[in-house]
Amino acid sequence: MASSASERRPRIGITTYLEPTVWGVWQREAALLPRVYLDSVVAAGGVPILLPPVGTDPSVLEILDGLVIAGGCDVDPAAYDAVPHAETADTRPGRDAHEMVLVRAALEAELPLLAICRGLQVLNVALGGTLHQHLPEVVAHDLHRPSPAVFGRTEVKTEPGTLTAQLLGEQAGVHCYHHQALDKVAPTLTVTARAGDGTVEAAEVAGRNFALGVQWHPEENPEDLRLFTALIDASRRRQS
């Protein structure tokens, strides 16, 4: 017998990369996503469903209970009418467009949304904001991305009275890996956490029950599932 909506685990869509990939004897373009995203959703009580940047159709959200916009490469500066910086690299305009369609549709449908690292940047640009294309020029250090494939450790301070503060407390240590960050914040976004150097580390969409973006990578800390658990809880509330 099929489970009722109130009994089944929430279905969480996660956007993916589309990259040249090698496995076995094959070298082909493939949709891919680091497993830590999947494990985090499962550990928090959800069922992950991959949303690759092909065949974009926002109606897919009708079968979902929540949405994660995953991290990845730089957002194309053309999306916010900027000239590319010399350090901006590996942009994927097709993925940008795909994720912005899903973000806007999710917000319209009040679908619980967690945007991670690049995801926060996509969220900001989709709502009319802009980005710092190379953060070290702004903060005079590279601690947010210490070296290739090495995560930085950042202390963030949350804004009192926000969902971010409710979930994480006054401050939290987080894993980060980014060289871009929010510059002009979109009008409907509220900054809810910053690093000590002033970098925007979290923002929430005003007027939504659960629409949160973080500049760090919560999936890289499997011992702290608070953000994923909050997403699943919001998804369950929406189910019922």
pLDDT in tens, 114-155: 999 999 999 999 999 999 999 999 999 999 999 999 999 999
Quote the pTM value: 0.96
Asked if pLDDT for residue 78 goes beyond 70, the answer is yes
Closest CA to 190 of 160, 169, 151: 160
Active site residue 73: no
pLDDT over threshold 80, residue 42? yes
C-alpha span between 32 and 73 (Å, rounded): 13
The confidence score (pLDDT) of residue 1 equals 42
CATH of span 11-18+27-239: 3.40.50.880
pLDDT digits (tens, 9 = 90+) for 155-173: 999 999 999 999 999 999 9
Mean pLDDT confidence for 60-67: 98
Domain edges within the chain: 11-18+27-239
Would residue 99 show up in a list of annotated catalytic residues for this protein? no
* Annotated catalytic residue, options 98, 132, 179, 217: 217
- Nearest-angstrom CA–CA distance, 134 and 141: 11
Annotated catalytic, 7? no
Instruction: Give the tens place of pLDDT for each residue, 188-209.
Output: 999 999 999 999 999 999 999 9
